[in-house]
Amino acid sequence: MAKPGEYTMRAFMNRKMDLSQAEAVADLIASSSEAAHKVAMHQMRGGFSAELKVLREELVHFASLIELELDFSEEDVEFADRSQLITLINRILTTINRLIGSFELGNVIKEGVQVAIIGEPNAGKSTLLNAFLNEDRAIVSDIAGTTRDTVEDELVIEGIKYRFVDTAGIRETTDTIENLGIERTMQKAEQADVVMFLFDAATYTSERLKKEISELKSRKSDLEDRLILVANKTDKTTESVATKFADFNAVSISAKEKTGIDELKEKLTEFVNLSALEEDQTIVTNTRHIEALNGAKNSLKEVLTGFEKQMPSDLVAIDIRRALFHLGEITGEITTDDLLGNIFSKFCIGK
Ligand SMILES: Nc1nc2c(ncn2[C@@H]2O[C@H](COP(=O)(O)OP(=O)(O)OP(=O)(O)O)[C@@H](O)[C@H]2O)c(=O)[nH]1
Ligand SMILES: [Mg+2]
């Protein structure tokens, strides 16, 4: 009987693919959006490995020069031109920093964008969730306080996965269960990548909206950059909602009539900057890889400090070897049985 991931593991053991490529096989199987699929394919075809290979080769060359110096330590020669080496290390650090920076997008692509829908009871949050999903996912009623626990579901828009979280409406109440729900709403709003604040366009005044937004922002200062204001129930009012809330840059919708939903989706996609994906750059999606990249980065910084402080070459050589070790962890030049077991056990049988 084949074990989980046995075939991919054999391919790895026989050097048909490196570890990051083998991991991409599992990512590919698990991918649930076009973007996740694309990133996994890029990695499986060796895009990431190729990038790391160049870095490693340059470092190896560099390490061998330094180690050569150690052999001739009595003669006090310098084979490795220090200023060239520093330039090289800085270039490698730039690449590593770009890779580490790509993880923000990588994580969004792999895990999806969390979107919390918040607002007062009866604002139409559950109706909006249902409109997004095109199904009766959450219970809708005209009783304020219908949703108590959070209701979550996923939707792929333009190749990116979004996780919508419908929450309990925020209001002052003495109901214990409802209060627990409201607490959970605030937690979800904290964790979310994007917060949609939904309000009833017919009953809200711009003064009230202004006050509630500033209250929200005072709770969480970084909300500004991830807040979308949504004026709902525009079907109920004959007033021009655009004029009424002109200062707020709100999206006007009717969740019930399903109007304005496309505009809202468009607004959502603006939150994800996909240029790196479109340019086919390497995007890191794996926390194991991020840890290794951070390890390599720190070791290389030590090398630079070593040069600055004119430390003996043998000490600098240790940090270079450590950086090589971390880069090798990603591609699997350096592995332990535990690590391999951990990676391949997550595969399904026969893959
Ligand atoms: N006219 C109109 N009514 C709406 C619209 N959206 C929601 N409603 C109605 O508003 C009422 C409350 O809707 P819900 O979606 O349950 O509101 P909610 O924000 O989830 O409320 P809680 O779960 O209690 O916090 C229901 O009777 C909906 O039919 C809309 O766009 N137009
Ligand atoms: Mg609800």
Say whether both 249 and 290 belong to one domain.
no
Say whether both 252 and 295 belong to one domain.
no
Cβ–ligand 1 contact at 127 (below 6 Å)? yes
pLDDT of residue 72: 75
Task: Give the domain-ending residue among 259, 274, 289.
Answer: 274
Residue 291 lies in a domain: yes
Residue 20 lies in a domain: yes
pLDDT by residue, tens only, the chain of 351 residues: 888 888 999 999 999 999 999 999 999 999 999 999 999 999 999 999 999 988 888 888 888 888 887 777 677 667 677 888 899 899 999 999 999 999 999 999 999 999 999 999 999 999 999 999 999 999 999 998 899 889 999 999 999 999 999 999 888 888 888 888 888 888 888 889 999 999 999 999 989 999 999 988 887 777 888 999 999 999 998 888 778 888 888 999 999 999 999 999 999 998 887 887 888 889 999 999 999 999 999 999 999 999 899 888 888 889 999 999 999 999 998 778 888 888 888 887 778
Ligand 2 centroid – CA 166 distance (Å)? 7
Task: Give the domain-ending residue among 234, 249, 274.
Answer: 274
How many C-beta atoms lie closer than 10 Å to residue 301's C-beta?
14
Cβ–ligand 1 contact at 167 (below 6 Å)? no
pLDDT of residue 247: 85
User: What residues pair up with 199 in beta bridges, in sequence order?
Assistant: 231
Residue 1 lies in a domain: no
Cβ–ligand 1 contact at 181 (below 6 Å)? no
- pTM comes to 0.81
Q: What burial letters (b/e) apply to 83-107, b meaning 16+ CB within 10 Å?
A: eebeebbeebbebbeebbebbebbb
Report every protein residue that has its C-beta within 5 angstroms of ion ligand 2: 125-126, 146-147
Residue 47 lies in a domain: yes
Cβ–ligand 1 contact at 123 (below 6 Å)? yes
CATH (domain of 206)? 3.40.50.300
Cβ–ligand 1 contact at 146 (below 6 Å)? yes
Contacts of residue 341, Cβ cutoff 8 Å, sequence gap at least 6: none
Residue 178 lies in a domain: yes
Domain that holds residue 46: 6-102+281-345
pLDDT of residue 4: 87
245 in Cβ contact with 201 (< 8 Å): yes
195 in Cβ contact with 228 (< 8 Å): yes
Report how far residue 134's alpha carbon sits from residue 128's, in angstroms, rounded to the nearest whole number: 9
| Closest residue by Cα to residue 339 from 276, 289, 275 | 289
pLDDT of residue 182: 83
Say whether both 95 and 75 belong to one domain.
yes
Domain count, the chain: 2
Mutational test site, ligand 1, from 140, 143, 230, 234, max ligand atoms within 8 Å of CB:
140
